[in-house]
A and B are shown apart, each in its own frame.
Chain A
Amino acid sequence: MKRALAAIVVLAVLAFPLVFARPFPRHVMIMIFLYGALATAWNVLAGYCGQISLGHAVYFGIGAYTSTLLIREAALTPWLGMPAGAALAVLVSQVIGYPVFRLRGHYFAIATIGVGEIVQTLFINWDWAGGARGLFVPIKRPDSLLNLQFHESKAVYYYIALGLLALALGVTHWLERSRRGYVFRAIREDQDAAASVGVHVAREKHVAIAVSAALTALGGTFWAQYVLFIDPESVFPLSLSILISLVAVLGGVGSLWGPVLGAAILVPLSEGTRVLLGGTGKALDLVIYGALIMLIAVFQPSGVIGLARRFRRDRRQATGAAQASSA
Chain B
Amino acid sequence: MAKPDASIWRLMESKGYSRREFVHFCRFAAITAGVGVAGLPRVVEAFQSRPRPPVVWLHFQECTCCSESFIRSSHPVVADVLFDYLSLDYTETLQAAAGHQAEAALHDTMRNHPGEYILLVEGSVPLGNDGVYCTIGGRTAQDILAEAAEDAAAVIAWGSCASNGCVQNASPNPTGATPIHKLIGRPVINVPGCPPIADVMTAVVTHLLVMGSMPELDNRGRPREFYGKRVHDTCYRRPFYDAGLFVESWDDEGAREGYCLYKMGCRGPVTYNACSVTRWNEGTSYPIQSGHGCIGCSEDDFWDNGPFYRHLPDVPGFGIESTADKVGAAAAVAAGAGLALHAIVTNVRKQSEIHKRIAGSVQETEIGEGGDD
Is A bound to B?
Answer: no
B contacts, CB < 8 Å to A: none
A interface residues (Cβ-Cβ under 8 A, vs B):
none
